[in-house]
Homo-oligomer: A and B are copies of this chain.
């Protein structure tokens, strides 16, 4: 079912500093910041040859990554995103296996304009898992 690792998301307290770190210290290929108000984050993409890292900074008061940053002031790894060919079939399979899908269980349009779902970290070894329609 799971296909490519689409990205690893890292929440950071200072996106400009994190961009410099990934560009200059780690020598990565780093995008300009992209504000995504609908998702409550500003994102910088680090393009690696085989996948990408997404650096996320909270945007706005209701940001879904704000509480994570409160608990982890230096930042930290927030989630992994796996691609799936059929997100509704994946969801139904996961629910049949007893895994909890966050929210109302309906895919939302994610940061890449594709349907996504998030799975409960307690059901996945303490790891927040995003599934994205490939």
Question: A77 near B74 (CB under 8 angstroms)?
Answer: no
Contact of A27 among B2, B11, B53 (CB under 8 A): B2
Chain A residues within 8 Å of chain B by Cβ, number: 42
Check if A27 sits within 8 Å of B93, measured CB to CB. yes
Question: A24 at interface (Cβ–Cβ under 8 A)?
Answer: yes
Copy number in the complex reads 2
Q: Is the CB of A125 within 8 A of B3?
A: no
Whole-angstrom distance from the CB of A71 to the nearest CB of chain B? 10
Stretch of A44-52, A58-66, A103-111 that contacts chain B: A44-52
Query: With A5-B5, A25-B97 as given contacts, are A126 and B75 in contact (CB-CB < 8 Å)?
Result: yes
Partner of A8, one of B8, B12, B72: B8
Q: A32: CB under 8 A from chain B?
A: no
Q: In the complex, are the beta carbons of A74 and B10 less than 8 A apart?
A: no
Cα(A1)–Cα(B48), bound, Å: 10
From known contacts A5-B5, A5-B8, A97-B24, infer whether A18 and B125 are also in contact, taking CB-CB under 8 Å.
yes
